Amino acid sequence: MGARRLLRILEEAAPGFVSGEAISARVGLTRAAVWKQVEKLRAEGYRIEARRREGYRLRSDSAPFHGQAIARAREEATMNAIGGTIHYFPELDSTNTRARELAREGAPDGTCVIADRQTQGRGRLGRTWISPPGVNLYLSVILRPALAPIEAPTITLATAVALADAVEAATGCTPEIKWPNDILLGRKKAAGVLTELEAEQDRVHFVIVGIGVNVGQVEFAEDIRSFATSLRLAAGREVSRTRFAASLLDAMERRVGSLLTEGFAPIREAWSARAAYRGERVRVALGDTTVTGVLRGIDERGQLVLEDAEGRPIEIIAGDVHSLRPDDPWAGTNAAP
Ligand code: BT5
């Protein structure tokens, strides 16, 4: 039995105890062998409580947050095509910047960079991603897909779908995706994706997919308070960063894998099923340009499709979606995107 299997059993039972006997029975090992595996996990930093009559229990605050712990929490069936190597840092300026450096040095497809905090976390269009330590996930994945640069946005959309899968599994809530890649819970933003590309005319060298997830944060800075949330706030209970990171890597492996083998159609469908504001009138802003229409979905390239007053489709490559409902967190013209 791998310690991974034991960890899974303890996680399923947490915060309850599992008896040594029950574990032995499930994994077909002696209790002494189970004890050895418990010691192994403890040596990695997991806090496992042992009580004579009740057995073992994984403490909720227990999971250490670093590459090895995340790798161990992943599903056994995955190939670790994404996250096969995880570079973990207590602090970075930006995981995307570090990932780009590693990619230029030749780091293989699927390599990940994770930081506990970022001092210069970046959003799209030069914006800032607020990245405090100890509570959230800041992750960048290096991908070297066989895609043309024009198809690269589909990677971001596949990532948004994977994020939604993992957020739903962790919280039990139903996330929505605000085009192109914000994850909303109760219409507030819990996660965002920043994709950066290095390419020639017809060939992608690498894509850096940067993901920021508010996992355990409960207080937000004044300027984002009205529209920011976290998995913990939405779920109403603690969510383990380590387990969430593992589950997100598993989901990315599935969704990005599906994109590269089956094409964009299944991602487009999954994305559309979670689209925020579908059928509603929205305003999309890019710089000084604004377009208004009913949000219909995304086309076969991943562009946003609105419908104008005459029923004609409008395709949009980039921009920020705002609601036209006054009570929506994404309403007013000044609402930060
Ligand atoms: C995004 O940009 O949503 C992409 C965020 C990507 C962050 C990850 S973290 C790991 C990797 N390394 C990086 O340096 N970046 C990536 P955008 O759609 O432009 O949204 C940015 C806006 O969201 C800001 O202008 C704020 O208004 C708001 N914001 C900033 N921090 C936030 C947070 N922690 N939670 C919710 N909203 C936030």
Q: What is the mean pLDDT of each run of 10 residues along the chain (337 residues)?
A: 79 85 89 88 79 86 76 83 92 97 97 95 94 94 94 95 98 96 96 95 94 95 93 93 95 96 96 95 90 94 94 93 88 54
Question: What is residue 334's predicted lDDT score, i.e. its pLDDT?
Answer: 44
Pairwise CA distance, residues 93 & 117, whole Å: 8
Integer-rounded Cα Rg, in Å, for the chain is 21
Question: What is residue 134's predicted lDDT score, i.e. its pLDDT?
Answer: 87
Regarding the beta carbon of 211 and ligand 1, being less than 6 Å apart is answered: yes
Element (DSSP H or E) covering residue 131: none
Nearest CA to ligand 1 atom 3: 192
Question: What is residue 335's predicted lDDT score, i.e. its pLDDT?
Answer: 44
Regarding the beta carbon of 189 and ligand 1, being less than 6 Å apart is answered: yes
Q: What is the distance in A from the centroid of ligand 1 to the CA of 119? A: 13
Q: What is the distance in A from the centroid of ligand 1 to the CA of 126? A: 10
Question: What is residue 13's predicted lDDT score, i.e. its pLDDT?
Answer: 84
Regarding the beta carbon of 224 and ligand 1, being less than 6 Å apart is answered: yes
Q: What is the residue type of 141?
A: V
Q: Edge to edge, what strands does the sheet with 204-213 contain?
A: 86-92, 112-118, 137-143, 204-213, 188-199, 182-185, 176-178
Regarding the beta carbon of 194 and ligand 1, being less than 6 Å apart is answered: yes
Pairwise CA distance, residues 232 & 229, whole Å: 8
- The residue behind tokens 């690269």 is 152
Question: What is residue 337's predicted lDDT score, i.e. its pLDDT?
Answer: 47
237 SS3 class: coil
Regarding the beta carbon of 337 and ligand 1, being less than 6 Å apart is answered: yes
